[in-house]
Structure 1
Amino acid sequence: MESYDEWTASQMSETVTVDGHGLEMAYRDEGKGDPLVFLHGIPTNSYLWAKITPEFEDEHRVIVPDMVGYGSSDMRDGFDRSIRAQELAVEDLLSELEVESCTFVGHDLGGGVGLRLAAHRPDLVERLVLSNAVAYDSWPVQFVTDMGLPSFPRENDPEEVRETLAETFRNGTHGEADEAFVEGMVAPWNSEEGVVSLSRAASATNTNHTTEIDPSGIEAETLLLWGAEDDFQPVEYAERLEEDVPESELVGLEEAYHWVIEDRPEAYREHLRTFLDG
């Protein structure tokens, strides 16, 4: 697996302006073939997928963005970081990259973006993979809500935020956490700008952005690839999605919490490949 520094180095020349506000969105774009798009959630970044995406670059064009306000993307203050805004930003990115249709893989908030895109742009999202995704009224969770309080950036310096997040990731993985994963998840927030950006992202979480979506109208063939022991986004929400999304299948991975991609990377790759192969 690449280190976080190696991962971000590959993004340095890969940014596009999105959303009509001059926001720079960083991304990786590797391989050739049918487009395969991966989107992270909060409080993560594109490095979440470092153990997954390289395995698919021989057969697919693999696009892995950082949402605006996250990772290597624009973190300056004064713009919307909500799921609605992220949906438009990703749509702009894919338009700039001349992607006409894709398989969209989303985790956490990235899954919420995927739900919205699949509902609003069935021409763009041919297949959909949701992993421990926000859906219906399943979110926001308390620790994210707390980070969105106005007092959060005033009362927490970057080192305190780094330590809090590191413990969240260590406690949220099954077994002993991979420290490279933990470091990659907390690194983008390790500055005053990062702390403010994280707080703005947390305050932008809004359950209305998924409750207004009708999953029964989603046309994309859908795989619900879920960490079955997640307390943040319980598997019951995946079961509800399986009932509502017409062409959907739930695969629950045992010994996996919210960060299912980190807990069960081999099984995750295997099930994703089976889905892609039809």
Structure 2
Amino acid sequence: MTHQEWTEAQEETTIMVDTHDLTVSYYDEGDTEASENPLVFLHGIPTWSYLWRGVAPAFEDDRRVIAPDFVGYGNSAMHDGFDRSIRAQEQVLDGLVAQLEVDQIDLVAHDIGGGVALRYAAHNPDAVGKLVLSNSIAYDSWPIQFIVDLGLPGTINDMSVDDVDEQLTQMFQSTLIEPDDEFVEAMASRFRSDEGRISLSRNAIATNTSHTTEIDYNAITAETSFIWGENDGFQPIEFAEQLNDDLEDTAGIARLDANHWVPEDRSTAFVDALSSFLE
């Protein structure tokens, strides 16, 4: 599926984040009458729901599959003037689940999406059945220097749209195992405007480590599994090991030969590992 086709398949709603009514785009496909929990996929920075193109559709025959674009990303609201932190993105998830009238979900999350998932699972233990974290932020594992630099107003103000586009393209091409032109284009294209350029900077500067250090990890009761690219220089596997030790109910770590973008680089192995855990 191309990113244009994915975009066309998305739906839109309005969710209040703090005092702002913001447009949220989300992918919602599969079996809406399935007895199992809806399977919700959360992306990170600087990606959007299309990150899950090789994973989410594999579950649509048996599950309802939902993948939102966080605010400031993808096809959701990008205008200036609202919080993009994982605290705010937790409100996006909470609001979307409430609007869809879903009682319990299974969460699959990557990068900062993992931070959102950890917060949501800690604050709503009865609402999460199973939790899967992939190269997720946690504790004080973030932000990485690349994101810190993008969040500096002095940096982004000196960058044109073309500069941002080139930097994102180079970053994905250098960190994906086998860069796919469609995927790289999809990721970079969402920020290819002045609004997108500023939104990327606001997303980056909103990376607040306090929002994961303050989590009560003992409050997370969902059975949790980890699908981790073991060669990741952004979120090293040691953090998966720490989470595996600290959380109450864990099923271990699936260690994949991948870097950070494991849902894209190892989508088949990811589907296999996720299927095994969900059985």
**TM-score (norm: length of structure 1):** 0.96
Which of 222, 235, 260 is residue 258 of structure 1 equivalent to?
A: 260
Per the alignment, in what secondary structure is the counterpart of residue 78 of structure 1?
coil
Alignment-derived partner of residue 18 in structure 1:
16
Identity of aligned residues (%): 52
1:106, 1:133 within 8 Å by CA — same for their partners in 2? yes
Aligned to 2:156: 153
Q: Is the 8 A contact 1:256 1:263 kept in 2?
A: yes
1:11-42 Cα offsets, whole Å, 9 max, x none, are: 2x433333241101100111122300001000
What pairs with 1:22-171 in structure 2 (closer than 5 Å)? 22-32=21-31, 33=34, 34-171=37-174
Q: CA deviation at 1:192?
A: 0.3
Whether the aligned pair in 2 keeps the contact of 1:135 and 1:237 (CA below 8 Å) is yes
Quick one: distance in 1 between partners of 2:154 and 2:93?
30
Distance of 1:16 and 1:124 partners within structure 2: 21
State the 1:204 CA deviation. Answer: 0.4
- The answer to whether the 8 Å contact 2:12/2:23 transfers is no
The answer on whether the counterparts of 1:111 and 1:133 sit within 8 Å (CA) in structure 2 is yes
Unmatched runs of 5 consecutive residues or more in structure 2: none
Distance in 2, Cα, partners of 1:215 & 1:134: 13
SS at match of 2:153: coil
User: Aligned letter for 1:170?
Assistant: Q
Q: Is the 8 A contact 1:256 1:264 kept in 2?
A: yes
Query: In structure 1, what is the Cα distance between the partners aligned to 2:107 and 2:202?
Result: 25
Match for 1:16: what amino acid?
A: T
Distance 1:46 1:128 in 2: 17
Q: Which residue of 2 aligns with 1:245?
A: 247
| Alignment partners' CA distance in 2, 1:160 and 1:97 | 39
SS of 2:131's equivalent in the other structure is strand
| Match of residue 209, structure 2, among 207, 225, 228 | 207
**1:273 and 2:272 equivalent?**
no
What's the offset of the Cα at 1:254? 3.3
Are the aligned partners of 1:253 and 1:264 in contact in 2 as well (CA < 8 Å)? no
Amino acid at match of 2:46: P
**Partner Cα separation in structure 1 for residue 199 and residue 102 of structure 2:** 29
Task: Name which of 153, 157, 179 aligns with 1:177.
Answer: 179
Give distance in 2, aligned partners of 1:47 and 1:254.
21
C-alpha offsets along residues 131-175 of structure 1, whole Å, 9 cap, x if unaligned?
00000000000000000001233111111111111111111112x
Aligned residue for 2:270, secondary structure, equals helix
Gaps of 5+ in 1: none
Query: What is the CA–CA distance in structure 1 between the aligned matches of 2:254 and 2:53, rounded to whole Å?
Result: 21
Matched residue SS, 1:156: coil
3-state DSSP of counterpart to 1:123 = helix
Mapped partners of 1:112, 1:209: distance in 2: 8
Return the offset for 1:238. Answer: 0.3
CA distance in 2, matches of 1:158, 1:143: 17
Question: SS state of the match for residue 64, structure 2?
Answer: strand
Letter in 1 for 2:157: R
Q: Any conservation in 1 of the 2:142–2:209 contact (CA below 8 Å)?
A: yes
Matched residues in 2 for 1:144 and 1:249: separation? Answer: 31
The CA distance in 1 between the partners of 2:135 and 2:66, in whole Å, is: 20
- State whether residues 244 and 253 of structure 2, in contact with CA within 8 Å, keep that contact through their aligned partners in structure 1: no
Counterpart CA distance in 2 for 1:152 and 1:10 is 35
1:72 and 1:170 mapped to 2: Cα distance? Answer: 22
